[in-house]
Structure 1
Amino acid sequence: MKIFHTGDWHIGKLVNGFYMTEDQEFIINQLYEAIEEEKPQVVLIAGDLYDRSVPPVQAIELLNRILGKIVRDLKTPVIALAGNHDSNERIDFASELLKESGLYISGNLKKHIEKVTIHDEHGPINFYSIPYADPAVVRDLFEDNEIKSHDDAMRKIVGVINDSMNRDERNVAIAHGYVTYIKNDEVAVTLEESESEKPLSIGGTALINAECFSTFNYTALGHLHGPQKVGSDRIRYAGSLLKYSFSEVKQKKGITIVSIDDKGEVEIGFREFKPRRDFRIITGELKSLMNLDIVNSANKEDYIKVILTDKGELLDPMAKLRSVYPNVMELMREERIKATANSKTVATNIRERSKLSLFQSFYQDITEEECTLEGIEVMKKIIEKAEKVGEE
């Protein structure tokens, strides 16, 4: 069976004041083409269909068109679930009626997760959708006060699934959360994270041990925006369809293509999509970045973060940059980035350093030069005088 694993669509996303709806529709057209060419038996959406619990009208209309096109026109079943950005109740609306059309949506978590079975030439494959739910919701649902973390919650849910699962058939889990391998309370697999991901909880309580999914032939995950595996190809994040922050500049976006053979073995492929506008970071002096020779050699319509290396004050640099790059999203000064980094370093050991040492660091951060011996002597006298006054 060929499966298209996707996730984190975030329809209606607003990034630095720019609505991404047109960009999302552009990329979805490539999904249609991939479905027509590859002919998958099912498309999975592992959570975060929308970017917020109350999506704008344009986002609702777009998602309606997308799902209608895939299910009705391309005749491909879709299995989708609510992520942490979605409203579980809104996603769950009319879900029972939609099953008849081949659209299987799970919004609210239920005690008994009803499997969706799709057949290929080798027999049935059972899909278990686990919509996102806070541990408190799972604790109340199962009336189990021992559930305190996301890992506790997932172990409970998967345990119930395992009780009725047919191990002689092929089984796929679809879930949304932060899944990694944890051994002896330490994270054994480091995953790539992005700034556009909304934290699920504070501290380590968000982490789910991948061992929860050991009984499944494949686990399709959503939440992390970079496509990646968790330990092995049997547990994977598809990543988001688009870049939603500049921390994702180097990530490839697209769909994960999963092929499951008659024995339940998995083979992974990836189909990259080309965005309408890419995310780029450019660095340099204002004058050089506005040089037409440089501008004409790149796509000036891209979403851009600019890091200016100029020293001193500049007159309205954002307006000047947008006259050439209309979609500048962020503007930063390199000297301020360095100053911030240095100030954080100083803050970590501020109590252990002398006033004179702190002054020397401050002077160097501001002037990018070391203070002269004469200057140090002057400051030493000022500090000594101030301390005497304080003692009096």
Structure 2
Amino acid sequence: MLFLKFIHTSDWHIGKIVNEYYMTEDQKFVLNQLFNIIEEEKPDALVIAGDLYDRSVAPVEAIELLNDTINKVIVDLKTPIIAIAGNHDSGERLEFASSLLKDKSFYISGTLNKNIEKITLCDDYGNVNFYMIPYAEPAIVRALYEDKEIRDYDDAMRVILENIKENMNKDERNVIVAHGYVTYAKDAEGKEFNSLERSDSERPLSIGGSEYINSSYFNDFNYTALGHLHGRQKVGNENIRYAGSLYKYSFSEVKQKKGVNIVSLDEKGECIVEFKEFELRRDFRIIKGELNNLLDKEVYSKENREDYLKVILTDEGEVLEPMRKLKMVYPNVMELTYENSLKERSEGKEKKSFKEKSKIDLFKSFYKDVKGKECSEEGIKLMETLIENVERKEV
């Protein structure tokens, strides 16, 4: 007797540019490994939990790569795809011709509907229902469900899931595919808050904590396939998981392993999850030391010089043309910073603190410098709204 098996992946961000480096060839490298995993595992479906593209208007090479990938999976490997839009995608663009593509076993939900789309697959033990919840802002959900009490992402997801549960057959196995910040830790008032591993390459969904979603809403489902956070991790229990991003997209992800979750559901709906790791074309690494030492052949000959690097120089004095010299040995240096140097003491600390501040903190500092007093709460809330609106347009 065979259990239903599917591959959970997310956050491909096809077309991603990291520090002016196009990641398309790196993404193509790991997608070829995904094809091999599909061929070996023969899953019943490939589930993509949002952010297929890195931005709403994708470059031509990104569209071509995604088209080739979908064609390979569906036509050559004969594996259905179940996918949703994430916050980086244009839901309307992704959903184009979706009704026609269903006949080719490509199921994609780009925009949220009041009646959540359900895709049903079968194994020897009956039906497995996949509920597809594409990313949507709280205002969209509030209007769709005509519920004025929906104020944030937590309220929005709670209402969506309550509507699903009203018509859900609990005697069958049920899977949620969603995109957002789902967490399980609680503060002193019992409210959910940020407790999971985050990456610098993730775009915040909102400002001030309103993006968090209570993981307990998903407890009635056999598995929840999540996208948005780039680190592979569980949320409270074995059945609520982030698959993580397709590739490393920042130096905060140096220690993360990238790959896919292979999920098998037995006849009772219990999950068996296996992680298959990708080999990266170029890894992300951080190296540290004095410039002359890093350029020493005995040092660099032991490392993969083609990796994407963040270099931290510890020279006490000024160094001449460090980036040019480093790139002669390490061609893919992405970032260069200083530690314990004259540069850091003079201006580096100021630049570092500037980079580490959030946009709203920068605004507060600017306001105080100009006005000589703190900004009012009303002014801060107005600026938070403006920042969110601008960031959404940049996606």
TM-score calculated relative to the size of structure 1: 0.85
> Is 1:238–2:239 an aligned residue pair?
no
Local SS of the residue matching 1:86: coil
Q: Structure 2: how far apart are the matches of 1:197 and 1:317?
A: 30
1:273 to 271, 278, 302: 278
Pick from 39, 45, 53 the counterpart of residue 50 of structure 1.
53
| Shift, 1:187, TM fit | 3.8
CA contact (8 A) 1:189 1:231 kept: no
Matched, 1:169 2:178: no
Match of 1:322 among 321, 327, 341: 327
Name the counterpart of 2:362: none
- Does the residue aligned with 1:225 lie in a helix, a strand or coil? coil
CA distance in 1: counterparts of 2:124 and 2:113, whole angstroms:
31
Distance, in Å, in 2 between the alignment partners of 1:177 and 1:106 is 15
Name the Cα RMSD after superposition: 1.8
| Partner SS state of residue 305, structure 2 | coil
Which residue, out of 58, 68, 72, partners 1:69?
A: 72
What are the within-5 Å matches in structure 2 for residues 129-208 of structure 1? 129-183=132-186, 184-187=189-192, 190-208=195-213
Are the structure 2 counterparts of residues 101 and 337 from structure 1 closer, same or farther at C-alpha, using a change threshold of 3 Å? farther
Match of 2:384 in 1: none
SS in 2 for 1:203: coil
Residue 8 of structure 1 corresponds to: 11
Q: How far 1:296 moved relative to its partner?
A: 1.4
- Number of residue-to-residue matches in the alignment: 346
- Residues 184-212 of structure 1 show CA distances to partners (whole Å, capped at 9, x for unaligned) of 34447721100000000001110000011
In the alignment, which residue of structure 2 is the partner of 1:363? none
Q: CA separation in 2, counterparts of 1:268 and 1:189?
A: 25
Gapped regions of structure 1 (runs ≥ 5) = 348-392
SS in 1 for 2:100: helix
The share of aligned pairs that are identical, in percent, is 61
AA at the equivalent of 1:309:
T
Normalization by structure 2: what TM-score? Answer: 0.85
Partner of 1:137: helix, strand, or coil? helix
Structure 2 residue 224 is the aligned partner of structure 1 residue 224: no
Matches within 5 A, 1:262-341: 262-335=267-340, 340=349
Corresponding letter in the other structure for 2:19: N
Match of 1:382 in 2: none
CA contact (8 A) 2:310 2:333 kept: yes
Counterparts in 2 of 1:341 and 1:272: CA distance versus 1, 3 Å:
farther
Q: Is the 8 A contact 1:2 1:41 kept in 2?
A: yes
Match of 2:386 in 1: none
> CA deviation digits over 1:149-179, x for unaligned, max 9?
0000001111111111000000000000000
| Greater C-alpha Rg | 1
Counterpart check, 1:260 vs 2:265: yes
- Provide the residue aligned with 1:109 in structure 2: 112
Deviations 1:238-294 (A, max 9, x none): 001110000000001000111110000011110000010000000001111011121
- Which residue is 1:250 aligned to? 255
Q: Check whether the contact 1:189–1:230 (CA below 8 A) recurs between aligned residues.
A: no
